Amino acid sequence: MLRLLVAEGNRATDRRRIADSAGATPGESYAKLLGMFAPKARIDICAPADADAAIPLPLDAYQGVAFTGSALNIYKREPESLRQVDFMRELFARVVPTFGSCWGLQVAAVAAGGEVAPNPRGKEVAFARKITLTGAGRLHPMHKGRAAVFDAPAIHGDEIVRLPENTLVTASNHMSEVQAAEIRCGRGVFWGVQYHPEYDFHDIATTLLRYGSKLVEEGFFRNAEELQHYAAELEILQSDPQPGDIAWRYRLGLDLLEARSRACEISNWIDWRVRAQSVDHR
């Protein structure tokens, strides 16, 4: 039986705030998705941002660890961020297969010696468009089944500005040169993406509503009513994700409408890193 660990990237106050709006913490949502691809796995959740964080089992007992996104900014060097960098370094040292979405990719980059900063191009909101696989990315198992160009759920304003050594960039777009990468540190191997393959339309809608007036102020929406209408239409897609008027209006293809297509990289990580390494170690 596989044992997987989800590392929740948010501090306690943000976890509660997200759960109040979305109905679950990011860690809980991530664990549910992992369960779809590994239905017989035991999946635990930890919060390495917390000073008193506890892990249910020793790290060596887990065949894989997945990092969620976070409302934190790693360059602020707050204790909640630095604890997660230390945790990632331990995962590298213990050679535990690790995956990360958005924040998780940034934590891995910093843990391996890279740097993250605010994106001068601004925020990437709701969907990252025209993500393009690099030559290496087209051959990388993390992206098996992906088209050469695709869209994905996204919400971030920071990006990797200096790559650590032994990093292979596998995807980029006009907003971020590093949309996906493999990072090697010592004998440890991390796969990660700047977008959110774990998000569904409900996650995107509730995230936009939490940002609320800030998105209006920054010009993503003309007013609060327009933002609320957009979020409401995403919730309709959540209940009936069929190509139709809403999908056409927002240019949403099957790479976004089909849950397994959205989560392609996570599924591949479980197959190619978690299960493969588990078999190799028997």
**Residue 198 annotated as catalytic:** yes
- Of 136, 55, 133, nearest to 96 by C-alpha is 55
The C-alpha atoms of residue 263 and residue 271 are separated, in whole angstroms, by 13
Q: Are 154 and 125 in contact (CB under 8 A)?
A: yes
Query: Which single residue is written with the structure tokens 């360059």?
Result: 75
**Residue 102 annotated as catalytic:** yes
**What distance, in Å, lies between the first and last C-alpha atoms of the chain?**
12
**Cβ neighbours for 48, distance < 8 A, ≥ 6 positions apart:** 7, 8, 83, 84, 87
115 three-state secondary structure: strand
Catalytic choice (8, 28, 102, 264): 102
Catalytic choice (8, 28, 124, 198): 198
Residue type, 208: L
Residue type, 128: A
**Residue 80 annotated as catalytic:** no
Tokens of 160: 């990797």
The C-alpha atoms of residue 161 and residue 35 are separated, in whole angstroms, by 33
- The CA-atom distances, in angstroms, between 194 and each of 2, 101, 128 are 26, 6, 9
Catalytic choice (143, 156, 196, 202): 196
- Of 195, 134, 145, 196, nearest to 167 by C-alpha is 134
The C-alpha atoms of residue 193 and residue 265 are separated, in whole angstroms, by 8
User: Catalytic site residues?
Assistant: 102, 196, 198
